[in-house]
Amino acid sequence: MSQAEIPKTYDPKAVEARIYEEWERSGAFEADADPGKEPYCIVLPPPNVTGALHMGHALNGAIQDTLTRRARMKGYEALWLPGADHASIALQNVVERRVLREEGKTKWDVGRERFVELCREFAENSRSQILGQLKRLGASVDWRRLRYTMDEGYVDAVLSAFVELYNAGLIYRGNRITNWCPRDRSAISDLEVNYEEVDGKLYGVRYPFADDRGPGPDGNDYAQVFTTRPETVLGDVALVVNPDDGRYKDLVGRRVMVPFVKRKIEVIADSYVDPEFGTGVLKVTPAHDPNDFEIGERHGFPSVNVLNPDGTINENGGPFVGMTREGARSALVKRLDEERLLGEVREYRHRVGHCDRCGAIIEPWLSEQWWLSMRELAEPALEVLKNEQITVYPDSWRRETIRWLENLQDWNVSRQLWWGHRIPVWYGPNGEVVAAKESPGEGYEQDKDVLDTWFSSALWPFATLGWPEKTEDLEYFYPTSLLSTAREIMYLWVARMIMMGLRFRGSIPFRKVNVHSIVLAEDGTKMSKSKGNTIDPLDLFDEYGTDAVRFGLLYQSSTQDFSYSYERAALGRGFVTKLWNMARFVSVYPMDVPDGREEPSASDRWILSSFNETVREYDRLLEECEFSEAMRVVYDFAWRQFADWYVEISKAAPSKQTPRILRKVFEATLRLLHPPMPFATEEMYGILGGEKLLIAQEFPRPDPALDDAEAERLLERTRLAVSAVRSFRADSGIDGELTGKAPEGVDLGVFSALSGVRVVEDLDGSARATLPAGDVVVELALSEELRREEVERLRKEISRVEGEVRRAEGKLSNENFVERAPAAVVASEREKLDRNSGLLETLKLRLDEYL
């Protein structure tokens, strides 16, 4: 294509879909075990099939795609393995709401079988939408290997894992306090409870004495307790005071009456009680509070459960049976008041647990659940994190994860939900309990519960590669190279993958973990649908182009969370346009420029050396997941060095080698930029006549032979000298050619061509401008009328340089500095002083001449 035929701006809409298809057709995304190559593997954190991709997915997708493409171009057998998660409780909630909205029915109205079917359908639609979005992002995933946590093979892996853990004695059934969501009618894990500050009340409840020992220590005929949940009074089995609480020595051993349910209970002593809180007397409700459960266990009290699974009061609730928990609370308080059993009621702000998925208030509730004991699984995981077998970026998250693992409680893996992997435990006709993938025989009935969705996710890095089968893929690609994820699922997911990987594969699941930022809304708060402040990445792709958005996200990504700003997408778009026009410019140079005999110029050597340094730095930064800094480095090279200077030099002062090097370096820059900005670079590469697809080209490697410190210094000085002249022109308003004395240590050809200064050996006449530019002085001949301005300028310059000299002198006259600072620092300070002193002298001399 000739330059005229290439439009002035890049049109992503016309390019992206076409190029994605070309990539797919070429088989570039496909990776297979190849003993001749090093493997590189990233498993995509499977998005939930609950809805569309959000900005976090876009960022993480950009990160993973960048790393995968880079690895591929570097010659690794690079596999980015895609998939999706069935998202048990999350999807079930979405479908429930939808059924309620569309049919006015609850899931119980619909029935388990049909409900699961509705979930399956929803998941399928949602999944295809998500996969389409991944394509829009440019994700170079191997589509042949798409995995889904409800696929037959994956389900088999989940069941295998459960059965193995069960048979190893690590999974057990236990009747314990769990976080119960009455709306979902299921247990959820500690990690799925959100605690929020709520304005509540602290109710004083009086328990009349039920023995004949008269009034209590305070003279009352009752003992008073404070509680935030008066309805749990119905389940009280004891009162308890601190054994060291002198006030209540006589209370211990007495009996009181639980209001309404007419149960006589004892007052006991337990050191758990904080004498400072409330009255210093605590009620014990083992079925509805984890601490009370422990106290109950310690003292051998039974648990009295007063709640049904849906949160209504059960048959143990005396006069309140059938009421909702909220209704029971107000009714009970009213009755207490009527019976003069209500003490003081205080306003009380406290934290209340809410269901992460549906928002309902969580009840600590006694129920029968399946538990996975964690200690044995956590030990090896702690080991590999402590000895840094797994590198975590940033490292602080490695330490956080260690802390979490050290304080790990057993994991409740059963959920009383319908959508998910059914627990493979079978109950036989004669009370047998068997864990097996399939029914052990006639009369066996399967457990009704499903597994926590994170149980299946925990197997992701190896179940996706074929486990429990012994596959070639597993041998070749496991352990995977890197996992990139948001930090909110470090515990929920990442820590558990490490434990399961070690358990089932005997080695870590990934060598590195990248913990990326959370993309916040523009106002700095979390994006959420309910707040209506979400940004749809697809809209951004449409408006700015996918590459621009990807570049912007990577440019802004760091270990800090960041508020998304459209400016970054605009920055990316500006960069794409700049590159596009560089491509237009470069395209006029013929493909095959004869090498010729002529040596490359200093400028040529400079750009090669500078490119070389960029490759080194950029590659290192990507390796260390420093995406933001990597984007800065490559942006600076492409724009501030290559476009701003080398391209201009190529027009004004080219060598015979320049066209070839211009083209070569630009093409190599496209290779560098391909991983973060794949579409536009691919398109440009094609326009420039690249034979194969850029995706399959080699990533540039640093070549020490191209390092040229001397050329870098020369061009650095030259650029400063040119800028000094331009600055002078801007200040003095002089257009047209200037005459100047040849500055020392610059490339005269380049200097002259870019500054418009005709270089002569010596300047005639006394009027001249003296422009300091780094360690170079540029002297320009001046017309008489500019003399006055030059005096002004010189005075300013002199005072600036005097400041420099004073600073350096100050430092060097400090004995401590000279003695203790590293020699190199002292030397460079001396050098600066010398230079500036010399410059000062010149400037003063010049000023004297003018006055």
Tell which one of 581, 732, 739, 837 touches RNA (CB under 7 A): 581
Closer of 571 and 738 to RNA (Cβ): 571
Scan residues 607-636 and list those touching RNA (CB under 7 A). Answer: 628-629, 632
- Told to check if 567 binds RNA by CB under 7 A, we report yes
Nearest-angstrom CA–CA distance, 294 and 285: 10
Tell which one of 24, 151, 156, 648 touches RNA (CB under 7 A): 648
Which residues lie below 8 Å from residue 634, measured CB to CB, with a gap of 6+?
614, 618, 669, 672, 673
Closer of 164 and 804 to RNA (Cβ): 804
Tokens 């994860």 correspond to: 401
| Residue 5 CB, nearest approach to RNA (Å) | 12
Tell which one of 361, 817, 844, 847 touches RNA (CB under 7 A): 817
Query: Alpha carbon of 505 to those of 458, 462, 479, 579: distances in Å?
Result: 13, 8, 9, 46
Tell which one of 820, 827, 841, 845 touches RNA (CB under 7 A): 820
- Cβ atoms of residues 292 and 302 within 8 Å: no
The DSSP bridge pattern shows strands 263-269 and 255-258 to be antiparallel
Closer of 210 and 821 to RNA (Cβ): 821
Closer of 709 and 730 to RNA (Cβ): 730
Tell which one of 582, 694, 715, 750 touches RNA (CB under 7 A): 582
The DSSP bridge pattern shows strands 519-520 and 480-486 to be unpaired
| Residue 157 CB, nearest approach to RNA (Å) | 27
For the chain, how many residues are written?
A: 851
Which residues lie below 8 Å from residue 591, measured CB to CB, with a gap of 6+?
663, 689
Beta-bridge mates of residue 186: 181
Tell which one of 21, 644, 703, 834 touches RNA (CB under 7 A): 644
Give start and end residues of each alpha helix (H) in 695-822: 709-732, 748-755, 787-813, 815-820
Closer of 33 and 252 to RNA (Cβ): 252
Scan residues 487-526 and list those touching RNA (CB under 7 A). Answer: 488, 491, 524, 526
Scan residues 324-383 and list those touching RNA (CB under 7 A). Answer: 350-351
- Kindly provide the residue ranges of all beta strands, DSSP E only, lying in 499-554, ordered along the sequence: 510-516, 519-520
- Told to check if 272 binds RNA by CB under 7 A, we report yes
- Told to check if 275 binds RNA by CB under 7 A, we report yes
Contacting range for RNA; rule: CB under 7 A; set: 46-54, 327-335, 787-795, 818-826: 818-826
| Residue 319 CB, nearest approach to RNA (Å) | 22
Closer of 283 and 512 to RNA (Cβ): 283
Tokens 């990577």 correspond to: 554
Contacting range for RNA; rule: CB under 7 A; set: 121-129, 188-196, 370-378, 453-461: 188-196
Beta-bridge mates of residue 728: none
Scan residues 415-474 and list those touching RNA (CB under 7 A). Answer: none
Nearest-angstrom CA–CA distance, 580 and 563: 29
| Residue 693 CB, nearest approach to RNA (Å) | 24
- Told to check if 137 binds RNA by CB under 7 A, we report no
Tell which one of 307, 608, 643, 665 touches RNA (CB under 7 A): 643
- Told to check if 278 binds RNA by CB under 7 A, we report yes
- Told to check if 297 binds RNA by CB under 7 A, we report no
Cis, peptide link before residue 394, omega less than 30° from 0 = yes
Closer of 265 and 582 to RNA (Cβ): 582
Closer of 467 and 751 to RNA (Cβ): 751
Nearest-angstrom CA–CA distance, 516 and 512: 13
Closer of 6 and 163 to RNA (Cβ): 6
- Cβ atoms of residues 401 and 392 within 8 Å: yes
The DSSP bridge pattern shows strands 193-208 and 342-355 to be antiparallel
- Told to check if 534 binds RNA by CB under 7 A, we report no
Burial (0-12, 13-18, 19+ Cβ within 10 Å), 219: exposed
| Residue 746 CB, nearest approach to RNA (Å) | 15
Query: Alpha carbon of 305 to those of 11, 236, 285, 302: distances in Å?
Result: 66, 9, 9, 10
Tell which one of 808, 839, 840, 843 touches RNA (CB under 7 A): 808
Tell which one of 651, 758, 788, 796 touches RNA (CB under 7 A): 651
Build a one-symbol-per-residue string for 725-764: x at contacts with RNA by CB under 7 A, - elsewhere.
-xx--xx---------------------------------
Query: Alpha carbon of 803 to those of 125, 258, 793, 808, 833: distances in Å?
Result: 70, 85, 16, 9, 11
